[in-house]
C-alpha cells in the first residue's frame, strides 16, 4: 500500500472513530435527558413503584450523566483542533474563520437554551475562544493549564469557606439583620414568558464574573486538543499505553469519588457551606473522568476489531451530525416533556427504550440528510 493510501485510510478510520464516539455521547445524553425531563417524581420518591425501578435513575446518574457530557465536551475540543489544523494546512484565515464559527455556535446555543432550556452550546462557544490563544503552547503547559482550570472554581469556593471559618467570631459579633424574604417568582403562564425569563437568565449569566472562571468543559477541550495533536485517534495502537492509562485513571477517579470522597465524614465538611469542594476532589478527582474509560474502550475496540466500525454504523451516522442532532433531540425532548408541549411522563423502565427510539429517529434523519 502506498504512503498516500495509508494516510487516506488512517484519516477515514479516525473520522469514523470520532463519529462513533460522538454518537455514543449523544445516546448517553439522550438517556440522561429522559431521566431528567420525563420522570414522575423526585429521586427520593422514585423507590416507590415497580421493584428495582429506582435503580434506573441511579444507573443514569452514576454511569452516564456527567460522563456523557464529558465525552461530548472532549469531542468538541477534538473538533475545534481539527478545524484549526485544516485551516492552517490550507493557509486559510484561521482566526476569522474560527471566531465566526464560534459566533454561529453561540447564536445556536442562545436559541436552544431560550427555546428548550438545554444550556451547553453557548458555554462551549465562550470557552472555545481561549483555545485559539493557547493552541501553540506546549503539551506540558497545556496540561498545567487544564489542572488549574479544573481547580479554579472549587478552589475559589473552598477559599471562601476558609475565610468564613477564620472570621466566624468576628462575624458573630455583628448584629444580624432580619433575613430578607424574597418573593419566589410565580410559574410562567405562557411559553413566551418562559422564553423571556430564559433570555434574561442567559444575559445575567454572560455578564456575570463567574463566566470568566474556567470549568470542566474547558479542561476537556484542552485534553481533546492534546489528544488530536499527539495522534491518539490517527494511530491508537501506537498510543495503547496512553489510552489504557487514561482508562485506568478515569475508572480510579470514579471509584475514589463515589466510594471515597462521597463517604467522607461529615465533620470534615460541616464547618462551612463552601467546604463542598473537598467532596468533589477540588475538581481534579472527578467522577466524570470515567468518560475516558468509555471512550478508550471504544477507540481500542475499533482499532483492534475494525469490523465493529460497520456494526456501530448507526452511532457513526448520528455522530456525523452531532451538533444538528443535539439540537433536534433538545427540541423533541422539550416538546414531549414540557407542560407547554405534551407534558409526557414515563416510568423509569421506559427511559432506555424511549431514548433508543428517539436515537433511531435521529439516525433516520441523518441517513436521509447525508
Asked, for residue 175, whether it belongs to a domain, the answer is: no
Task: Give the domain range for residue 228.
Answer: 10-165+191-369
Asked, for residue 131, whether it belongs to a domain, the answer is: yes
Q: pLDDT tens, 98-117?
A: 999 999 999 999 999 999 99
Among the ranges given (2-6, 250-254, 299-303, 336-340), the one the predictor scored with the smallest mean pLDDT: 2-6
What interhelical angle do 139-166 and 216-229 show, nearest 10?
A: 160
The total of structural domains in the chain comes to 1
Cβ atoms 68, 315 nearer than 8 A? no
Q: pLDDT tens, 176-229?
A: 555 555 556 788 889 999 999 999 999 999 999 999 999 999 999 999 999 999
- What long-range pairs does 208-216 form, CB within 8 A, spacing at least 24? 211/126, 213/152, 213/153, 213/156, 214/127, 214/130, 214/149, 214/152, 214/153, 215/127, 215/149, 215/152, 215/153, 216/70, 216/73, 216/150, 216/283, 216/286, 216/288
Asked, for residue 179, whether it belongs to a domain, the answer is: no
| Rounded Cα–Cα distance for residues 316 and 324 (Å) | 14
Stretch 274-293: mean pLDDT: 94
Assigned C-alpha cell, 332? 423533541
Q: CA nearest 298: which of 247, 250, 252?
A: 247
10 or 16, greater pLDDT: 16
| Rounded Cα–Cα distance for residues 82 and 80 (Å) | 5
Asked, for residue 182, whether it belongs to a domain, the answer is: no
Asked, for residue 258, whether it belongs to a domain, the answer is: yes
Asked, for residue 236, whether it belongs to a domain, the answer is: yes
Asked, for residue 226, whether it belongs to a domain, the answer is: yes
Number of neighbours of residue 325 by Cβ within 10 angstroms:
25
pLDDT band at 12 (very low <50, low <70, confident <90, very high): very low
Asked, for residue 2, whether it belongs to a domain, the answer is: no
90 or 68, greater pLDDT: 68
Q: CA nearest 362: which of 66, 354, 113, 348?
A: 354
| Beta-sheet strands, E only, within 143-251 | none
In this predicted structure, what is the pLDDT of residue 8? 39
Q: pLDDT tens, 230-267?
A: 999 999 999 999 999 999 999 999 999 999 999 988 87
pLDDT band at 122 (very low <50, low <70, confident <90, very high): very high
Amino acid at each position: 500500500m502506498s504512503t498516500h493510501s495509508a494516510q487516506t485510510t488512517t484519516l477515514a478510520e479516525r473520522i469514523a472513530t470520532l463519529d462513533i464516539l460522538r454518537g455514543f455521547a449523544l445516546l448517553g445524553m439522550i438517556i440522561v435527558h429522559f431521566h431528567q425531563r420525563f420522570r414522575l417524581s423526585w429521586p427520593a420518591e422514585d423507590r416507590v413503584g415497580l421493584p428495582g425501578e429506582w435503580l434506573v435513575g441511579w444507573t443514569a446518574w452514576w454511569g452516564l450523566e456527567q460522563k456523557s457530557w464529558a465525552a461530548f465536551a472532549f469531542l468538541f475540543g477534538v473538533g475545534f483542533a481539527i478545524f484549526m489544523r485544516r485551516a492552517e494546512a490550507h493557509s486559510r484565515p484561521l482566526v476569522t474563520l474560527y471566531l465566526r464559527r464560534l459566533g454561529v455556535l453561540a447564536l445556536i446555543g442562545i436559541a436552544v437554551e431560550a427555546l428548550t432550556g438545554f444550556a451547553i452550546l453557548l458555554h462551549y462557544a465562550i470557552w472555545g475562544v481561549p483555545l485559539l490563544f493557547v493552541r501553540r503552547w506546549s503539551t506540558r503547559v497545556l496540561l498545567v493549564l487544564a489542572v488549574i482550570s479544573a481547580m479554579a472554581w472549587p478552589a475559589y469556593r473552598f477559599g471562601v469557606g476558609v475565610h468564613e471559618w477564620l472570621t466566624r467570631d468576628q462575624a458573630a459579633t455583628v448584629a444580624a439583620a432580619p433575613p430578607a424574604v424574597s418573593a419566589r417568582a410565580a410559574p410562567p403562564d405562557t411559553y413566551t414568558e418562559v422564553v423571556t425569563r430564559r433570555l434574561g437568565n442567559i444575559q445575567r449569566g454572560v455578564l456575570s464574573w463567574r463566566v470568566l472562571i474556567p470549568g470542566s468543559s474547558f479542561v476537556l477541550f484542552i485534553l481533546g486538543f492534546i489528544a488530536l495533536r499527539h495522534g491518539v485517534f490517527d494511530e491508537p495502537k501506537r498510543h495503547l499505553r496512553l489510552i489504557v492509562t487514561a482508562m485506568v485513571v478515569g475508572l480510579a477517579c470514579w471509584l475514589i469519588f463515589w466510594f471515597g470522597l462521597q463517604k467522607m465524614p461529615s465533620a470534615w465538611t460541616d464547618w462551612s457551606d463552601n467546604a463542598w469542594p473537598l467532596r468533589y476532589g477540588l475538581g481534579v478527582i472527578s467522577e466524570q473522568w470515567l468518560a475516558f474509560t468509555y471512550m478508550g474502550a471504544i477507540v481500542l475496540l475499533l482499532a483492534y476489531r475494525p469490523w465493529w466500525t460497520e456494526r456501530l454504523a448507526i452511532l457513526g451516522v448520528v455522530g456525523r451530525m452531532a451538533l444538528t442532532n443535539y439540537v433536534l433531540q433538545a427540541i423533541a425532548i422539550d416538546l414531549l416533556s414540557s407542560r407547554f408541549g405534551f407534558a409526557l411522563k414515563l416510568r423509569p423502565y421506559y427511559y432506555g427504550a424511549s431514548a433508543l427510539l428517539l436515537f433511531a429517529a435521529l439516525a433516520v434523519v441523518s441517513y436521509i440528510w447525508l
